[in-house]
Chains A and B, each alone.
Chain A
């Protein structure tokens, strides 16, 4: 069966579909609200029916009957396979190494995939005080694979973070392993402009694909450092008609997150 690609889709939908394709059937995936959750539900309803959706509030095997509006929404509990306490979730699931994929967002990200979600400006005299780590530091330390979802802007893709909240490959070249973090680190960044991955040796980010309608120059322009480009850089595979239909008609018919 040949794929029928959608002609009409938004950038947000492109990102959700790209994230869904990173998830494998059977993965235990720790999701947040917004794009990660839509991606996980989409994967569950397409190629990964046995995806185990886990929320940091302690819910595993979640099958929400409506679209959850927060990671503590009661709909994620009813019909789930089980509920852990807060400490159990972080100790038994994350630290113990059972989470296959974790999602995190970024206010700032550097070339080694280190992330800031704590503060813009000086920590002691912040220009903007952001929420902080929450579960992100443990996710980025312990999940086998980390997917980063972020808008692609120069002020976000920075040379130097104002604060390092969640470790990526730190300074590259094995510095992450040295402090004993057993998780695999960031595996992919899905931005508003393209999909970026990491060189396994150096830990440095490179552009793997650019979304339809975006040029390589645009991606470079929106990145503060001299971004490496894969020699095989190509256009991101667009969403299929079926993926867009499931997202719009089944998962988020009210457009709560799709139209954000």
Chain B
């Protein structure tokens, strides 16, 4: 494969790598939530997806409202720092726009599924914290096993290997080596666990930039199928060092989407009503964008040494 083949638009990447019925895993943990790529999935009206994300956040809420989702795999379904997810609630409580299946975990056990998937092992044993809870009654993936060394009871958490991982990060080179800093969540694990990997980045940088700081790379190029240069691709969440979280947006979303009509209005305005992230940013407006720019707080470069 020519290396340039990996660089494409969000539209091309979603068209090429996401199919109806796929298990799609979203990266990001309050930080770097791949909103631009998620919105493209909605615009292309993908259907019957199983979506996995520890914290579904607003993006999975929107995918549910737009009718893309058949099943959600998750561990904390709330609007971070604000409250509840209204479309998720409507789907679970009232079957609006259609009933969805849920497969629920704790943070630790879902993280363990990604880890096992990334490591290529069928399951990972953990100390059986969930056995004290009611979750195993409803989730048959939380099984027990006896430790072959001590005889103690453990939980066996099965691997999860999604069809597609959708990730946002700070930067990558043309080959697809992805670098990230700040909260990295499960991005490394889900990329290594998934069959296809789509990554949007704030900027595509020269290979030299990546190779001068190799410890910052979280995904190797050979695992990456598509790289999309998508500045502000994580708004209204944030990208560390590039822009702040738009907390007002999360609050406004909470108010607006309490009704089905409000939710539709949101989708029409911010997703269907724009062609791509560039148009989304135009709509967001310069004033709002400027307000979200942080002051600089650079790291001091480290010296890896040159051993030629």
Contacts and interface: CB of A to CB of B under 8 A. Distances in A.
Interface in B86-100: 88-89, 92-93
Contacts of B129: 95, 137-138, 140-142, 167, 181
A130 to B, nearest CB: 7
Contact of A132 (B29, B104, B181, B187): B104
B177 interface: no
A30 B130 CA distance: 19
Interface stretch (B10-18, B71-79, B158-166): B71-79
B245 A69 contact: yes
B133 to A, nearest CB: 5
A11 to B, nearest CB: 21
A182 B127 contact: yes
B80 A72 contact: yes
Given A74-B245, A131-B77, A181-B132, A142 B127 contact: yes
Nearest to A73: B245
B186 A137 contact: no
Contact of A134 (B31, B76, B137, B153): B76
Contact of B30 (A72, A79, A140, A180): A72
Given A78-B297, A135-B107, A180-B153, A130 B84 contact: yes
Interface in B108-135: 108, 111-112, 114-115, 126-135
Contact of B106 (A126, A133, A176): A133
B225 interface: no
A127 B92 CA distance: 10
Q: Is the interface of A mostly helix, strand, loop or mixed?
A: loop
B134 A74 contact: no
Nearest to B138: A123
Contacts of A194: none
Interface in A106-133: 118, 123-124, 126-133
Contacts of B182: 74, 77, 83
A222 interface: no
B189 interface: yes
Nearest to A138: B108
A128 B85 CA distance: 11
B238 interface: yes
B127 A95 contact: yes
Interface string B237-275: 110100011010000000000000000000000000000
Given A72-B29, A167-B132, A133 B76 contact: yes
Given A83-B182, A126-B92, A131-B84, A138 B107 contact: yes
B108 A94 contact: yes
B111 A166 contact: no
Interface in A203-253: none
A74 B294 CA distance: 10
Nearest to B134: A164
Contact of A165 (B74, B111, B134, B184): B134
Contact of A131 (B76, B126, B237, B244): B76
Nearest to B91: A129
A181 to B, nearest CB: 6
A64 B78 CA distance: 23
A182 B240 CA distance: 35
A120 B162 CA distance: 31
A33 B81 contact: yes
B55 interface: yes
Interface in B129-183: 129-135, 137-138, 152-153, 181-183
A60 interface: no
B21 interface: no
Contacts of A73: 30, 81, 245
B189 A85 contact: yes
Contacts of B54: 86, 134
B93 A87 contact: no
A129 B89 contact: yes
B250 to A, nearest CB: 8
A58 interface: yes
Contacts of A71: 30, 80-81
A87 B108 CA distance: 7
Contacts of B138: 123-124
Contact of B127 (A87, A141, A164): A141
Contacts of B74: 132
A167 B80 CA distance: 23
The 3 A-B pairs with the shortest beta carbon distances in the complex, nearest first, are A72-B30, A167-B132, A134-B76
26 contacts: A57-B29, A57-B30, A70-B81, A72-B183, A72-B237, A77-B31, A86-B107, A86-B184, A94-B108, A118-B104, A118-B134, A123-B137, A123-B138, A127-B93, A129-B92, A131-B77, A131-B84, A132-B104, A133-B133, A135-B106, A137-B129, A137-B132, A138-B106, A141-B132, A165-B134, A179-B131
Given A129-B89, A181-B129, 7 more contacts: A57-B29, A77-B240, A83-B181, A95-B129, A131-B84, A133-B135, A180-B153
